[in-house]
Amino acid sequence: MSKIKVGVLRGGPSSEYEVSLATGANVLGALREKLADKYAVLDVLIDKKGEWHINGVAVKPEAAVKRFDVVFLALHGAYGEDGKVQRLLETYNTPFTGSGSLGSAIGMNKVLTKKAFKDNGIKTPVDRVIKSSLIKKDADKIAHDLFRTFLMPVVIKPVSAGSSVGVSIARDIKELVKGLKEAAKHDEEVLVEEYIKGIEATVGVIEGFRGETLYVLPAVEIVPKTEFFDFAAKYEGKSDEIVPGRFPLDIKVKLSELARKVHKAVGLRHYSRSDFIIHPKRGIYVLEVNTLPGLTNESLVPKSLRAVGSDTHELIDHLLGLALKK
């Protein structure tokens, strides 16, 4: 029986290039070391200009996809998670892991994601959206307007970026100006949200895993050593991640229900990971959803998998199976 040819796409023209390389390296390692009897693997590096390379040689995407039976998407951020590469693969009718182009586009755009949450009765923080062009023109004026009309502190985020890139907390005018300018570097729009102080949690879901239509992994409790779960907390060991989280049973059940609901509301496929904040009096708020959760050594889905007696290579094999079924 011939092996299934898998192209692992990693890198990409986004601020999450290095994270994607690490996810891709783990996927390649699992395929080559533990699943080599089933899959033949090609490492597809997409550089920061968006050009595809196989074995160090530049190749057109339309030529590359002819060499695969299926693609494992190990990309993060722009191009990889916003629906662009998904749309390209759909055009060539190439099976791939993760959500389709529409679900990816919605999941990457925090404004569209929050609309999906609100439309489905999922509680999410109050927000305001500001054009980055206006911030670059007069950040001081926008900061003063926000300070007068929005309850402080606030969380400032680029609308379409992941891994907490460009995210900050602002409590006063000075921090507002700084945070707005930083977020505006990463996207055309900036999202300003009320800051909800509470316990952070994240929950992964996997379609068709262990006989369940939508299997929920154990909720992870995140205890950042910085003020919130920023890029350093995620990838530089500056947080404690407790799996399973130390939540009461009713909170665990509610988190599981919400993770399933988010996955369906945004129209996602195969797997996702939703981030929550649990306020002691106001309840659980969903912050955002990750359509291609990281699979690095520091990532949360692999830690959740180990907590239920699974591992990354079982997930990779399962996801490739889902993609090929389509």
Known catalytic residues? Answer: 16, 163, 235, 273, 275, 288, 290, 294
Burial label for 37, CB within 10 Å (0-12, 13-18, 19+), is exposed
Residues with Cβ within 8 Å of 219's Cβ and at least 6 positions away in sequence, in order, are 201, 202, 203, 244, 245, 247, 251, 252, 255, 256
As a whole number of angstroms, the distance between CA 274 and CA 291 comes to: 9
Distances (CA, A) of 298 to 231, 237, 293: 12, 7, 12
